[in-house]
Amino acid sequence: MKPIWIVDDDESIRWVLEKALARENLATQSFSSARDAIAALQNGTPQVLVSDIRMPGASGLELLQTVKAKHPGIPVIIITAFSDLDSAVSAFQGGAFEYLAKPFDVDKAVELIRRALDESLRETDIEQGAAQTPEILGQAPAMQDVFRAIGRLSQSNVTVLITGESGSGKELVARALHKHSPRASQPFVALNTAAIPKDLLESELFGHERGAFTGAQAMRRGRFEQAEGGTLFLDEIGDMPLDLQTRLLRVLSDGHFYRVGGHQSLKANVRVIAATHQNLEQRVREGLFREDLYHRLNVIRLRLPSLRERSEDIPILARYFLAQSARQLGVEAKRLSPQAMQFLSQLEFPGNVRQLENLCNWITVMAPGQTVEIKDLPQDLVEERVHAPQPAQNRGCSGIGGSPSDGLYRACPGVASASADGAAGASWITLLETEAAQMLASEQPEVMDILGRQFEAALIKVALKHTHGRKNDAAVRLGIGRNTITRKIQKLGIGGAEDD
């Protein structure tokens, strides 16, 4: 991992940050001016850059512009004074990851740098993945089964039927099958049979001769001829009209076809991959799909899971789509906060991967900041989550508030309070999610601040009670600094603490 660069003309600030990061086993490199840091970029780059705004010579904003122009993936944290609001706004407009206001708490600074470091490492993984042009993203077991099937079919020309819900990525699988087949150097031709009017679909598939019908002023090659030697992907095959199903069956049976209006038999050297979101067995029973064609297509079947069946893939897909959308628009990629990412991972996504991709495009254009919170997501998604049926044990909860000692968990029939040993640890998270969703749906402002204050107050009160009011011991138990807990006790108005 690369070092963290600290750029500040104040030696004391450089020293404090160096020591604090050294305790975290993080390597640093310090510079007393922006000019020195810009010169050092010729020989290397940091994992994260922390820079003051106001310095002799070049400013931190100039350094920010230089870094973002040459290395847009490096998170830059700007240090600014409380009174320097215009500079903070300029920093965000220039692509800063976050700003740190003077005077700052060292623990808070380290936490912020840690967040930037995690983001930098994630961006590095995404860039490396993008450089390899991934065909299909997925780590869920169901997707691993699909990948294994593609591998087993890599040396085969057999017909494949791909099933799955709309938007789940069936064409991507078809392209992967083609790319890893002996026909990879030949054309891949795709046709959505549901998108072509019935009267034109036959000509699209098989082509036509000049004068075959009104408007046919020249001979036209169909998709079978265009895909000669390669792969023809027929999407939404379940919507193909019955009379065309008969013609397709003949091509699959003996490999020959006629252009519309033609009299010369043409040989088709094409591998057919078909896909549908419909239940073909049901359509066969209803007389809407030929049974013999179904068996011709259903030689090898690949079922593509819906996104809700592989929700663990939502974070990696979301980061990829956000980076892709940012590249297309020429802007810096937005980042989903942990809370927003968890929120998305719990959605049903009836439109599957296509819906998630469209959402990421919306976020890139419409979300106000670089870090996207739940409140920044489309309102209909938040409302959908609030009104979605909840598990029986979670219904009727009235929310959370205060601390465990004074009733953190309000009455919630059927849900056990979290015990001290964490036996019901998931319950309070469910309650928190419910409360947050209700507050967001009611458009209550500053939800993060309100719930964050309640959460911090609850933790500190319990820790103080456990240590009989001794602040230093409570800070150690919570894993925060003494100055931090003192400041939070004053800010949150918590009583019962002793000066030890």
**Structure confidence by residue, pLDDT tens digits, 14-51:** 999 999 999 988 899 999 999 999 999 888 899 999 99
Residue 288 confidence (pLDDT) above 70: yes
| CATH superfamily placement of domain 149-305 | P-loop containing nucleotide triphosphate hydrolases (3.40.50.300)
- pLDDT at res. 7: 94
Decide if 4-134 and 149-305 have a common fold.
yes
Query: Looking at the predicted structure, is the pLDDT value of residue 413 above 60?
Result: no
What are the pLDDT digits (tens) for 159-204?
Answer: 999 999 999 999 999 999 999 999 999 999 999 998 888 878 888 8
Q: Where are the beta strands (DSSP E) in 147-244?
A: 160-163, 188-192, 231-235
CA 191/CA 194 separation, integer angstroms:
9
Residue 371: strand pairing partners: 335
Q: What is the mean pLDDT of residues 439-459?
A: 82
pLDDT beyond 50 at 411: no
Residue 83 predicted with pLDDT over 90: no
Confidence of residue 134 (pLDDT cuts 50, 70, 90): low
Task: Indicate the fold that domain 310-384 takes in CATH.
Answer: Helicase, Ruva Protein; domain 3 (1.10.8)
Buried b (16+ CB within 10 A) or exposed e, 405-416: eeebbeebeebe
Could you give the C-alpha distances from 484 to 79, 281, 427, 493, in angstroms and in order?
19, 65, 28, 14
Give CA–CA dist 209/216, Å, rounded: 7
**Contact (Cβ atoms closer than 8 angstroms) between residue 437 and residue 382:** yes
For residue 227, pLDDT over 60 is answered with: yes
What would the CATH number be for the domain defined by 4-134?
Answer: 3.40.50.2300
Residue 364 has pLDDT above 50, yes or no: yes
CATH architecture of 437-492: Orthogonal Bundle (1.10)
Residues 6 or more apart whose CB falls under 8 angstroms from that of 471 comprise 464, 482, 485, 486, 489, 497, 498, 499, 500
Residues in a beta bridge with 77: 50, 98
In terms of pLDDT, which residue wins out, 101 or 310? Answer: 310
The bridge status of strand 48-52 relative to strand 28-31 is unpaired
Find all residues with CB under 8 Å of 347, minimum gap 6, and list them: 381, 384, 385
CA torsion, ordered 61, 67, 69, 73, to nearest 10 deg: -120
pLDDT of residue 328: 87
> Which tokens go with 36?
């020195």
Residue 242 pLDDT greater than 60, yes or no: yes
For the cut 60, the answer to whether the pLDDT of residue 387 exceeds it is no
Give CA–CA dist 469/478, Å, rounded. Answer: 14
Residue 404: both structure tokens together? 């465990």
Cα-trace Rg, the chain: 30
pLDDT at 306 over 60: yes
The β-bridge partners of 302 are: 162
Residue of higher predicted confidence among 20 and 136? 20
Please give the Cα distance from 111 to 190 (Å, whole number): 50
Q: What is the pTM of this model?
A: 0.54
pLDDT tens-digit map of 43-76: 889 999 999 888 888 888 888 888 887 887 788 8
User: What are the extents of the domains in the chain?
Assistant: 4-134, 149-305, 310-384, 437-492
Question: CB–CB of 173/231 below 8 Å?
Answer: no
Q: Tokens representing 335?
A: 């980042």
